[in-house]
Amino acid sequence: MQWIQSLDSKALIFVIEHCRCAFFDVLMPVITSFGDKGFIWIAAAAVFILIGNPDFPWRKWGVLLFAGLGMNALFCNVILKPLFARIRPYNLFDYTVLIEHVGDYSFPSGHTSTAFAAAVILYAMNKKAGVAAYIFAVIMAFSRVYIGVHFPTDVLCGALVGIVVARGVLRVCKAPIFGESAPFS
């Protein structure tokens, strides 16, 4: 386990020492702020619900996106973060963090997990929107390491958690208990 922490630390320090530049020092905190409290994804789900109608069935997708976000928050932030209780990397190393210090644990990355959960659901809804969401999720994940609040394994595992949870939500919503009105029937 120590070798993982060592590799993780080296990768994080490499990004901070060799990838930072003035342009990204401004851009990455903006990108990461879109994921704060899942705001961008909650807003998308709300828009889908508001614009949905019988001829434009996005209301179901908005509800599904809310369900995916909720389940992801439960697994990532309520169960896994306290279970692993990994401290933030800025508590171990001396470097400039590009946003205010975060008060919760580091593992797994909630921003990344949420972005990937939303991307999985959006991809199931619309391939083009899903591809754009996946690209944004990857950029979100990188931003979390770049600004110095996560180790690389935090974002990798966050992505995995988001994908697994969202696929589980999609599978449950395909179940026969939802009948023909299920979003994926």
Q: By residue range, what is the domain housing residue 168?
A: 2-181
Average pLDDT of 126-145? 94
Query: In which band, very low, low, confident or very high, does the pLDDT at 185 lie, cut at 50, 70 and 90?
Result: very low
**Total structural domains in the chain?**
1
| pLDDT, position 55 | 67
Query: In which band, very low, low, confident or very high, does the pLDDT at 178 lie, cut at 50, 70 and 90?
Result: very low
Where residue 154 sits, what CATH number does that domain have? 1.20.144.10
31-48 b/e (C-beta count within 10 Å ≥ 16 → b)? bbebbeebebbbebbeeb
| pLDDT, position 115 | 96
Average pLDDT of 78-106? 89
Residues 6+ apart with CB under 8 A from 117: 41, 68, 69, 71, 72, 161, 162, 163, 165, 166
Alpha-carbon separation of residue 169 from 31, 77, 145, 182 (angstroms): 26, 17, 28, 12
